[in-house]
Structures are given as structure tokens and as C-alpha cells.
Amino acid sequence: MSSLGAVPLFGSLSPEELRLLAARAIPRRISAGELLFSEGDACKGLHIVASGKLRIFKSSTSGREQVLAVEGPGGSVAELPVFDGGSYPASVSAVEDSQILFISRQDLRQFCLEHPEVALKMLAVVGARLRRLVGIIEELSFTTVRQRLVAALVRLAQTEGKAAEGGIEFTLPVTHQEMAHQLGTVRELVSRNLMRLQAEGLLQVDARSIVVRDMAGLTAILESAP
């Protein structure tokens, strides 16, 4: 019940209501890299992240991947197909060892009929995810790989960076391959652009350790985007 109480979707529920919902939730452990479900599978219900991280992604026939979102504790996946009755529109796998709670489609729909505020919160989550998808489409359509990479590096420097000798230091939270999945490109282009930014004196790169040496120079690249 404590895990469900920390989920924004269910924040308005009373302890008794959470207890009733928890009785319908099935816990499951999933290992890093394990597939939770694939795009096109029939939707069986809602998955809630109790611990760990899940990545939502689309795959092309050639094997290229585009990460749509990464959900951590309190996040949820598959809200839309729970209500529209369709199949899962994307695949989901574990970024790291994770624990999830599963609530069947039938149980959740019934619970939402009894607690309309939960349905409204789910609609807000779906709306936020739609806005994120529109943003991804915009980035892929109107920016270069270099600009998308720089934008990601600036965000990480602002949120995770610490002052260090010569600049702002942080560690890439994912591999170059996973970064490529998130940026809609291939690993070679991520590595090549990191090296190019280092050659230009904007970064210092040591594997996944990054030192931003010229934040103004990085932001100038973004400001020059069309």
C-alpha cells in the first residue's frame, strides 16, 4: 500500500481506498534489460514502477530504437490502452533491476468508475506524455543530432552538474548507445559529436565523465538552431 500511496495517480485516495486498490495489485520483479511487454501486445493492465526504472521505446524494422520516456518510482506505463482497449503502442523494458505493481485493465476501469478523480489524473498523465511526444517529433524534425546532444548535455549540467576545476562536471547517466536511442540516432554519431565538442574546447570527455568547459558556447549552439 505504501508504494501506491507514493504514486501521483493515487495521491487523493484515503488509506482504506489505497488498501482496496493494493489488494488488486500484483507485484513483479523485472531484471535489467528484460522486456516487460512489446509493441502490439494486447494490453492487460497498468504497470506502476515501485522501484527501479522502465524505458518506453519504439523500434524500427532495422533495429533502430527511439526512447519515448523513462519512468522511475511512482511512474506508470500503459495508461492509454487501458481505456481505449487497443494494444500497447510501444515496448517497455527495464533500465535496471526494478519492481513493478500490475493492476489489471478490468480492475482499474472499475476502480476509476468508483473514483473519477483517479481517471482525471490518468488523463493528465496521458496529456503530459502527449506533449512530450510532440516535443520529440519537433526535435527530430527540426534539429540536428549535434543540437539534440548539446541540449541533453546542457540539461544534465544544470540538473546534475557540480562545480569542478575548469567547469561543470557530471556523469552521463546512460551509455552512448542508450543516449543514441534517446536522441533518435546511432551510437557512432553520439561519440563523434562528443569528440567534436571536445576538440572545439567546449567539453572534456573521459568515457561517461563530462566536464563542461564553456557553457556559453554550448548554449550558443542551441540559440543558433532554426
- What grid cell was written down for 85? 482497449
Give the pLDDT mean for 28-48. Answer: 94
Domain ranges of the chain: 2-141, 144-223
Q: What's the pLDDT tens digit per position in 129-165?
A: 888 888 888 888 888 999 999 999 999 999 999 998 8
29: pLDDT strictly greater than 60: yes
Of the candidates 43, 53, 50, 54, the one whose C-alpha atom is nearest the C-alpha of residue 25 is: 50
Give me the pLDDT at residue 2, please: 55
pLDDT number for residue 226: 57
Indicate the average pLDDT of the chain. 88
Q: What is the mean pLDDT of residues 13-34?
A: 89
- Hey, is 185 helix, strand or coil? coil
pLDDT digits (tens, 9 = 90+) for 181-205: 889 888 999 999 999 999 999 999 9
Task: Please check the confidence at residue 54 and state whether its pLDDT lies above 90.
Answer: yes
Name all contacts of 189-193 with Cβ < 8 Å and 24+ positions apart: 189/145, 190/145, 190/149, 193/145, 193/146, 193/149
Assessment of whether the complete model's pTM goes beyond 0.85 = no
The CATH number of 144-223 is which of 1.10.10.10, 3.40.50.720, 3.40.50.1970, 3.30.930.10? 1.10.10.10
Query: Per-residue pLDDT tens for 66-122?
Result: 888 889 998 889 888 988 888 999 999 999 999 999 999 999 888 888 888 888 888
Tell me the three state secondary structure of residue 20. Answer: helix
SS3 category, 157: helix
Class of domain 2-141: mainly beta
Structure confidence at residue 12 (pLDDT) = 74
Only one residue has cell 511512482, namely: 74
Question: How many angstroms separate the most distant Cα atoms in the chain?
Answer: 60
